[in-house]
Amino acid sequence: MKYVFPDNFWWGSASSAPQTEGETLSFGKSATIWDQWFKEQPTRFHNGVGPADTSTFYKNWKQDIALLKELNHNTFRTSISWARLLPEGRGAVNQQAVTFYNQVIDELLAQGIKPFINLFHFDMPMAMQQEGGWENRDVVTAYAEFANVCFELFGDRVKHWFTFNEPVVPVEGGYLYDFHYPNVVDFKRAATVAYHTMIAHSLAVKAYHERNDGGEIGIILNLTPSYPRSQNPADVKAANIADLMFNRSFLDPALRGEYPQELVELLKEHGQLPACQPGDKELLAAGVVDLLGINYYQPRRIKCRDSLVNPDSPFMPEWFFEAYEMPGRKMNPYRGWEIYEQGIYDILTNLRENYGNPNCYISENGMGVENEQRFDENGQIQDDYRIDFVSDHLKWLHKGISEGSNCLGYHMWTFIDNWSWCNAYKNRYGFVSLNLETQQRSIKKSGEWYKATAAENGFNDRT
């Protein structure tokens, strides 16, 4: 069977400034929370590899964009480093950064690749974190100023903007589960960070819309469907609460301009609501996006709790549910994630049926594999497992589109093997293999497959 996608479908990949640029404390850039955390606790990072050791995009941007062109990308997402553009978080602009980002944007356009530019990818400038980060409304204001600087400098050429990538992750990692800096475990503070993030988002959306630059602005959410263990009411209720906490806490403000009342009541009941200010309601309503980016990697399997909550433990989402390991699930054993291709279709169906079928695209989907060099044959990684992963997800994406979902494209995570937070290079995700010692790039078998798929705007079933 041949799977053909709509005309002008976006074929591309995604990356981020902190994971690719390198030169993390050079050319005028100041430290982010990642630089600081690596300085404080290098052992938290796989093999002691920190944020300075990325895929050197700052130096090799022209070569990398040529590879994007070779892979038939018509779109590419990356981010602008707040700490590079505004080293103090606000105020003076770093002209070296302006030159760099202008070169990248101009070269992408010259190669026929539309730049999709994201403004925040987990990389809070340390100057802003020292003021409280997202807990401080002054930092929210500073982010809005940063967004405006970006629109002013690059908005004549960039027509696809995104305010945040996976905004729930800094909330989970930094303020609930201790896997991102500042390693706080406090639900109320986490709720404040989440709320202020969406206030910051709304300020940027409102400002962009007021400019009338002829483009569109959105947000990128990692939507993880919550599937109950069974249809027992207790399991269904548990899965619904997980969905409220991890998906709808960002999806509803982004698409409806307001929070789910059910979530508000739940947090209110437990004394966990963040503080609001006059005008916030109207501001959130102005933050409805033009385009939704969807990052999908795995489902969330949920069951009701089998035990009572320890009343002396910190208030956590898991007071209301437990993770469920479904027997027989297909796994990526290297990342420890379930592979469930239908989830991508279920997300699109939910958006079509419950959110007015917004314009959207798959902004990330990918498979990380450890020690990929064992699949090297004659200088090329034979990653058939990645081709199967992508094609199986694209089949379900195709089904969603055929049923009317307004999904405009598919971006793989990622273009080139890159640094991945505390995991560093433990798992490789790229279409292009990176030799860390020589920085040599070589296209994997999956890259050749994707190149052909983009050229043909579709693919033939491999089975």
Please write the tens of the pLDDT for every residue from 283-332.
999 999 999 999 999 999 999 999 999 999 999 999 999 999 999 999 98
Range of the domain at 252: 2-460
Residues with Cβ within 8 Å of 97's Cβ and at least 6 positions away in sequence, in order, are 27, 28, 29, 81, 84, 85
Instruction: Write the CATH number for 322.
Output: 3.20.20.80
Helix intervals (H) in 412-456: 445-456
Half-sphere exposure (CA, 13 Å, Cβ side) for 13?
30
Active site residues: 364
Lowest mean pLDDT among 274-283, 351-360, 435-444: 435-444
The answer to whether the CB of 175 falls within 8 A of the CB of 132 is: no
pTM, full prediction: 0.96
- Predicted confidence band at 345 (pLDDT cuts at 50, 70, 90)? very high
Residue 404, SS3 per DSSP = coil
Which residues fall within 8 angstroms of residue 178, CB to CB, at 6 or more apart?
184, 185
- pLDDT computed for residue 313 by the predictor: 95
| Nearest residue to 332 (alpha-carbon basis) of 375, 296, 386 | 386
Q: What is the pLDDT of residue 461?
A: 86
Number of domains in the chain: 1
Question: pLDDT tens digits for 356-384?
Answer: 999 999 999 999 999 999 999 999 999 99
Let me know: does 217 contact 290? Beta carbons within 8 Å: yes
How confident is the model over 201-222, as pLDDT tens digits?
Answer: 999 999 999 999 999 999 999 9
CB 366 within 8 A of CB 15: no
- Evaluate whether 300 touches 225 at the Cβ level (below 8 Å): yes
> Quick check: 111 pLDDT over 90?
yes
Sign of dihedral through CA atoms 447, 370, 31, 195? positive
Amino acid at site 346? D
Q: What DSSP designation does 318 have?
A: G
CA 433 – CA 429 distance, rounded (Å): 9
Closest to 390 in 3D by CA, of 433, 329, 450, 338: 450
Q: What average pLDDT does the chain have?
A: 96
What angle, rounded to 10 degrees, do the helices at 57-70 and 95-110 form? 10
What end-to-end distance do the CA atoms of the chain give, in Å? 9
For the segment 404-432, the average pLDDT, to the nearest whole number, is 95
Residue of 317, 51, 35 lying closest to 181 (CA atoms): 35
CA nearest neighbour of 276 among 173, 163, 140, 130: 140
Give the mean model confidence (pLDDT) for residues 424-444: 93
**Closest to 120 measured CA to CA, from 161, 69, 65:** 161
Q: What would the pLDDT profile of 34-83 be if each residue is shown by its tens digit?
A: 999 999 999 999 999 999 988 899 999 999 999 999 999 999 999 999 99
pLDDT at 333: 83
- Decide if 400 contacts 348 (C-beta within 8 A): yes
Say which range, 103-112, 148-157, 192-201, 366-375, has the weakest mean pLDDT.
Answer: 366-375
> Do 4 and 458 meet the contact criterion of CB atoms below 8 Å apart?
yes
pLDDT in tens, 223-255: 999 999 999 999 999 999 999 999 999 999 999
| pLDDT, average across residues 174-199 | 97
Q: What is the DSSP string of 55-120?
A: --HHHHHHHHHHHHHHTT-SEEEEE--HHHHSTTSSSS--HHHHHHHHHHHHHHHHTT-EEEEES-
Strand, helix or coil for residue 440? coil
- For residue 335, the model assigns a pLDDT of 75
pLDDT tier, 334 (very low <50, low <70, confident <90, very high otherwise)? confident
3-state class percentages of the chain: helix first, strand second, coil last, to nearest 5: 45, 15, 40
Helix (H, G, I), strand (E, B) or coil at 397: helix
Do 29 and 80 touch, CB atoms closer than 8 A? Answer: no
pLDDT at 317 (0 to 100): 97
When pLDDT is cut at 50, 70 and 90, the band that residue 336 belongs to is: confident
Share of the chain above pLDDT 90, in %: 97
